[in-house]
Amino acid sequence: MTSILILLLVAVVIIVAGASMRRKAAVRLQPSTDPEPLPDADPEPVPITEPEPMPQPEPPPPQPEPQPTIIVSDEREPQVRPSLGQPTPPPVAAIIREPKSERKRMSRIVKGGLIQTSLACDTSESLDTIREAQIERTLKYVDQAGAEGVQILCMQEIFTGPYFCAEQTTRWYDATEKIPDGPTTKLMQEYAKKYNMVIVVPLYEEEETGVYYNTAAVIDADGKYLGKYRKNHIPHVAPGFWEKFYFRPGNLGYPVFETAYAKLGVYICYDRHFPEGARELGLAGAEIVMNPSATVAGLSEYLWKLEQPAHAVANGYFVGAINRVGYEAPWNIGEFYGQSYFCDPRGQMLAVGPRDKDALVTADLDMDKIREVRNTWQFYRDRRPETYNGIVKL
């Protein structure tokens, strides 16, 4: 009996021990939610180290200074968009209408002067008296021009007398003189040399008895006679321009004179209605064209500030237009309205004289303007003389 009890007791112990071992194994298989028990002794101190700094990105390199934008005219053919089939216009910023030339040059300014006067004495006086009175009145303005530094000067048409073509009488044939050997040309040569001034001298010229021209002598700044221009277009129209009675048409063409200051051409009064001669002067190299005139209110005044600025634009040069002033015999039917002026190659007025007063009209003419305008408006390049045959048909 005792043996049986001992065996039962041993079996119970084995069973209990096995269950305990199974519980421990199960506990090891699951994570513990309880905190670790603190050790009995103080732990070793853990050394504290600074965290390594995070690597920073390299700063970007400094941006280079922006280069100045150079805008130039884009004259290439427009590109075609394949998708739309439409030309792509150049950007607006790529167009410069009038680029400045990069060529370095000294500015060339020429001071021009124009003299407009009324008649200095009555036409009932002798021709010599009329001539002397007109010269005396004009020389006052020549002296003023010299004092003001004028370099190129011009008077009105046949400045030594009245505009006598309103009547047809042989009396006025005796108002002619030789060029260059006549007294007025010789006198103006002295003044040109005195003031170092180019002078255009409009006179009634006698080539020989019975052959007379409406002429302008050109004198250089050293007093040298350079040559003359004879009026080519001679009117014979009412109410009083009976010029064919007095003048033979010019036979010297359209000369351009190389003066000390500029290349100079001359057109006289009625010539201004004809663009062909104005173009001839431009083709011959004129930089300044003087047009001494005698023109009256009521007939051509509306053209006065229209035609000659148009010549200046079409040909790219300066124009000096001169008109006489006031009322005079034998032209007793209207007023000579003055308003002498200079205009530039754009046709812009630089200076305009009074309508009813004697005056010296001056302006500074910038010769660089000619190049600027001709580089913009290529009228000489684009002209088609081979197509103008009809103009020269007789």
- Reported as a single tens digit per residue, the pLDDT across 319-341 is 999 999 999 999 988 899 999 99
Catalytic residues: 157, 231, 269
Mean pLDDT value of segment 355-381? 97
Q: Tokens 């305008």, residue?
A: 373
Mean pLDDT value of segment 275-285? 98
**Tell me, what's the pLDDT at 364?**
98
| Lowest-pLDDT range of 275-279, 302-306, 329-333 | 329-333
**Tell me, what's the pLDDT at 55?**
54
Check residues 311 and 97 and name the one with the higher pLDDT: 311
**Confidence grade of residue 75 (pLDDT, cut at 50, 70, 90):** very low
- The widest CA-to-CA distance across the chain, in whole angstroms, is 193
**Tell me, what's the pLDDT at 274?**
97
Cα–Cα distance measured from residue 263 to residue 156, given in angstroms and rounded to the nearest whole number: 20
**Confidence grade of residue 84 (pLDDT, cut at 50, 70, 90):** very low
Q: What is the pLDDT of residues 115-137, one digit of tens each?
A: 999 999 999 999 999 999 999 99
| Lowest-pLDDT range of 17-21, 90-94, 180-184 | 90-94
**Tell me, what's the pLDDT at 118?**
98
What share of the chain in percent tops pLDDT 70?
Answer: 73
Mean pLDDT value of segment 110-115? 98
**Confidence grade of residue 200 (pLDDT, cut at 50, 70, 90):** very high
Q: Are the C-beta atoms of residues 157 and 292 closer than 8 Å to each other?
A: yes
**Tell me, what's the pLDDT at 298?**
83
Mean pLDDT value of segment 7-36? 54
Domain ranges of the chain: 111-382
**Tell me, what's the pLDDT at 44?**
54
What share of the chain in percent tops pLDDT 90?
Answer: 70
**Tell me, what's the pLDDT at 15?**
63
Question: In this model, does residue 171 exceed pLDDT 60?
Answer: yes
- The overall average pLDDT reported for the chain is 85
Question: In this model, does residue 38 exceed pLDDT 70?
Answer: no
- Second CATH level (architecture) for the domain 111-382: 4-Layer Sandwich (3.60)
Question: In this model, does residue 305 exceed pLDDT 90?
Answer: yes
**Tell me, what's the pLDDT at 299?**
79
pTM of the model: 0.75
